[in-house]
Structure 1
Amino acid sequence: MVMKFLINIFSIMVNHHLIELAVSLWKERFSEQEPNGQLGEIIELFDSKRIPLSSKQREKMEKVYPYYGATSLMDYVDDFLFEGTYLLLGEDGTVIDPEGYPILQYIWGKFWVNNHAHVLQGKNGFNVESLYVLLKTTYVSSIVTGAVQLKINQTNLKSIKIFIPPIDEISSFNETIEPIFKKIRNSTDEIASLTELRNSLLTKLMSGEIPVAD
C-alpha cells in the first residue's frame, strides 16, 4: 500500500509539472490578448450522453472501466459511455478551485461519466489539450450560480469571453503541447499497468498460486 501511494504521488507531481509547463506556454503566447469570442464557439458538449449510476447499481458491476464524477474518479463499472480523449469540467457541487478557476479532468480511453461533469471536446482549431490549457487560465467565478450547491450551466459556460487565436496560431500551439500531453498519458498508463501487475502478482502470491521462492 505504501509503495502504491508513493508511485501515485510521484505520478501526480510529474503530471502537475507538465501541465504547468503547457499553461506557461499558453500564457507566453496569448495572455496579453483581449477576448474576441466566447467559449461556445470552440467547444463541443456531450452532456446528453451522460448517465448517472447509483452506488447500489455500481456495487453489482465488475470493476473494469473508470466512472467519473464532477471532480475525480469515483469508481469502476462494467461498461463505458465514452471512448477517446475528453475534458471534464465540474457542473455542480465543487466546480471551482479556491482561485476561481474551473475544476478540470483530462480523460482518455474508455470511461463512464455521471451527470455532475460537463463532457467537452474542442473545435474550430482547438483540440482537447489546447482547450484544457485555455480553461486552466480562465477565471469562471462570475458564471457560477447557486447559493447552496454551486453550478455552472451550459448557457453560462458557453458565454465565457475568451481570446480565440487565428487558426494557424492555435494549430502551431497544438503541435507544441502535444508531446507534453503524450508524456502525461504514457506515464499515467504505464503506472496503471505496473500497479495492475503488482496487484495480480500479490494476489497469486497470497493464494499460493505462485510459490514465494519463484
Structure 2
Amino acid sequence: YVRGMKVFRVHPADVSRIEIELPHIETQRKVVSILDSIYTKQRINTQLNGYLLELATTRFEQALFKSNRVVRLGDIVKLEDSKRVPLNSRDRDARKGPYPYYGATSIMDYVDDYLFDGIRVLLGEDGSVIDESGRPILQYVWGKYWVNNHAHILAAASDYSLEAIYIALQRTPISHIVTGAVQRKISQRNLNKLKLEMPDAKSLEYLQDIFAAYRCNCEENRGLVSLRDALLPKLMSGEIDVSKIDVAQLNSHLA
C-alpha cells in the first residue's frame, strides 16, 4: 500500500514469460521493407521542402537587394482572430473528425468541422511565440481547418501574397513586440505595427510555384501516413498477403 492505495506490481520475470503472436520472420522482413519504402519517400519530400523554403528565402533576399521598402504588417494583412473558436479537450474528444485543429505552434487534434478554408499564416499569440533567435513561431496552413485562440490568423489584404509575408516574417526578429514576463504574448496592436522589409510585390510571383510544390509534397506525406496506418495492421494480421506485394514496384511508384 502507498498512502492508503493498493499498488499492483508486475515482476520483470513475469513480463519476460508473456507469449505474443508474431508473423513469420520473412513476413516481418517484408513488412519492414514496405514501411521503409514509405518512410524513405516521406524523408525525401521533407528534404525537398527544406530546399524549397531555402530557395524562396534566397530569392526573396535577392529581390530585397534590388528594391527595398518598409511596410507595416497591418497594412498588408487582415487579422481574422475574431473568427477563432477554442475547443477544450472534452469538446474535441466528442467531435473527432478529419479537420486539423491548430494551436499556437502545431496541429493539436482533428475535429468534425472547420472554420477556415484556404491559405492562411498562423503566428503564435501567447506562450511559445518566438524561437531562440527571436523570430516568430509561424505555421503556413491551407485546406479546411479549425484554429484555437492561441494563434493570430493572417489573411492576404494587399498585392503581397501570404507566401511573401510568410518568408518576410520568417527572417524578421520580433522580440521587441513581445510582452509579458511570465506568459509571453503578442497583441494585435503590436503585431499590426510590426515593420517588415519587403521588395516589390511583382518580383515575388515565383513564390506561387515554389509553395504549390511545397503543399504538394506535404499532401503526399499526409497520404503516405494514412497508407502506412491502414496497411500495417492488415499486413501484420495476414489480412493482406504480404508475399503478393512487389516492393520493387512499390519503390518505383513512390519515386
Cα displacement (A) at 1:87:
0.5
Matched AA of 2:73? L
CA deviation digits over 1:107-158, x for unaligned, max 9?
1111111111111122220111111011112110100000011111100001
Q: Which of 133, 141, 148 is equivalent to 1:107?
A: 141
Checking the alignment, whether the CA contact within 8 Å between 1:86 and 1:108 is kept in structure 2 is yes
1:139 to 158, 162, 173: 173
Contact 2:168 2:198 in 1 (8 A): no
- 2:151 counterpart letter in structure 1: A
1:193 to 2:227 alignment: no
Equivalent of residue 172 in structure 1, options 193, 203, 206: 203
| Structure 1 partner of 2:8 | none
**Structure ID, larger Rg:** 2
Retained in 2: the 8 A contact 1:45–1:121? yes
TM-score (norm 2): 0.74
Partner SS state of residue 124, structure 1: coil
Instruction: For residue 77 of structure 1, report the CA deviation from its aligned partner.
Output: 1.2
Specify the alignment match of 1:16 in structure 2.
50
Letter in 1 for 2:203: S
Whether the aligned pair in 1 keeps the contact of 2:76 and 2:156 (CA below 8 Å) is yes
Q: 1:182 maps to which residue?
A: 212
Rate the CA distance shift 1:35–1:171 in 2: closer, same or farther, 3 A: closer
1:35 touches 1:161 (CA, 8 Å); kept in 2?
A: no
Query: SS at 1:57's partner residue?
Result: helix
Runs of 4+ in 1 over 6 A off after TM superposition: none
- SS of 1:89's equivalent in the other structure is strand
Contact 2:68 2:198 in 1 (8 A): no
User: TM-score of the superposition, structure 1-length normalised?
Assistant: 0.88
Instruction: Summarize deviations over 1:71-94 as a string: whole Å, max 9, x none.
Output: 111111111111111101011011
Matched, 1:159 2:190: no
Task: Report the equivalent of 1:89.
Answer: 123
Sort the Cα spacing of 1:145 and 1:34 in 2 relative to 1 into closer, same or farther, 3 A.
farther
User: Of residues 57, 71, 77 in structure 1, which corresponds to 2:111?
Assistant: 77
Q: How far apart are residue 27 of structure 1 and its match?
A: 1.1
Q: CA RMSD in A?
A: 2.3
Aligned position for 1:47: 81
Residues 121 and 131, structure 1, Cα contact 8 Å, conserved in 2: no
Matches of 1:49 and 1:182, distance apart in 2: 26
2:96 aligned to 48, 62, 67, which one?
62
Equivalent residue number for residue 127 of structure 1: 161
Specify every segment of 5 or more residues in structure 1 that has no aligned partner in the other structure, as ranges. none
Contact 2:97–2:113 (CA under 8 A) maintained in structure 1 = no
Superposition deviation, residue 210 in structure 1: 3.3
Structure 2 gap segments, 5+ residues each: 1-31, 245-255
Aligned to 2:21: none
> Is the contact made by 2:63 and 2:203 (CA closer than 8 Å) also made in structure 1?
no
Measure the CA separation in 2 of the matches of 1:163 and 1:33.
10
Paired letter, 1:181:
F
Q: Is residue 77–residue 154 contact of structure 2 (8 Å, CA) maintained in 1?
A: yes
